[in-house]
Amino acid sequence: MASFHEELPVLGVWDKSHQIIQAMPVHDNPRISRALETYRSVDERMRRFRPEELVPAHGDSHARNLLPGPDGWRWTDFEDVSRMPRYWDYASFVANLALFRGWEEPFLQAVLNRPEIAADRESFGFILRARILVSTLCNAALALEGHGDWSFAERQLELCGGFLQQMRQRII
C-alpha cells in the first residue's frame, strides 16, 4: 500500500469502527465499560494525527484476506482502505492472534522484531492497542445487535483488559 498515491479517506476504517461503537446498544457489561473508557482516550489521540502522518493502509489486514496466487500472495477485501497511522496494517495482522494466543505468538514476535518497529515500539504499541480495542468493541457491538458471534466477542472482552495491561510492560 505504501506505493498507492491516489486520494483515500483519512482515518476511514477508524471512523467506520467509531460509528459502530457509538451505536452500541445499552449494556451492563463491566468489561465493555472498561474497554470503552480506554477507547475514548485512544480515540482522542487517533484524531490528533495530522494528515501527513498517515499512510495508505489496507485497513483490515489478516490472514483470511490473503489469497495465494501464481506470483505470490495477494490481498483481498479492500473495503477498509484508507489513510491510517503507520503500523496499522501490522497491528491489524497480529491483533487477534496476539490477543488469543499470547505474547509468544510467532507472527507477533516477527512483527516486534522488524527493525522499524523495534526502533519505534511506543508508536507500534499505541496502534496495536487501538486495533485491539476497535476489534473488541466492534465485535461486541455487532453481537449485542444480533449481528455477530457473542461467544467470540465475549472471549475478546475477557482477554482485552489483561492484554492491554501487559502491553505497558512488554512493548511500551
Query: What are the tens digits of pLDDT across the range 88-122?
Result: 999 999 999 999 999 999 999 999 999 999 999 99
On the question of pLDDT at 78 being above 90, the answer is no
Contact 90, 112 (CB under 8 A): no
Residue with more model confidence, 77 or 121: 121
Cα 81 to its chain centre, rounded Å, is 13
On the question of pLDDT at 2 being above 80, the answer is no
**Cα distances (angstroms) measured from residue 67 to each of 62, 72, 100, 114, 115:** 11, 9, 23, 23, 26
d(CA 61, CA 58): 6
Mean pLDDT of the chain: 93
On the question of pLDDT at 26 being above 80, the answer is yes
Give me the domains of the chain, ranges plus CATH numbers.
12-170 (3.90.1200.10)
Query: What is the pLDDT at residue 66?
Result: 86
Give 88's contacts (C-beta < 8 A, 6+ positions apart): 13, 55, 57, 59, 127, 131
Q: Which of 46-50, 57-61, 63-67 has the highest mean pLDDT?
A: 46-50
> pLDDT-derived band of residue 43, with 50, 70 and 90 as boundaries?
very high
SS3 32: helix
* Whole-model pTM over 0.85: yes
* Residue 97: burial class (beta carbons within 10 Å; 0-12, 13-18, 19+): middle
> pLDDT-derived band of residue 62, with 50, 70 and 90 as boundaries?
confident
Query: What is the pLDDT at residue 82?
Result: 94
Query: What is the pLDDT at residue 79?
Result: 86
User: Nearest-CA neighbor of 128 among 46, 51, 10?
Assistant: 46
On the question of pLDDT at 140 being above 70, the answer is yes
From the CA atom positions of the chain, what is the Rg in Å?
16
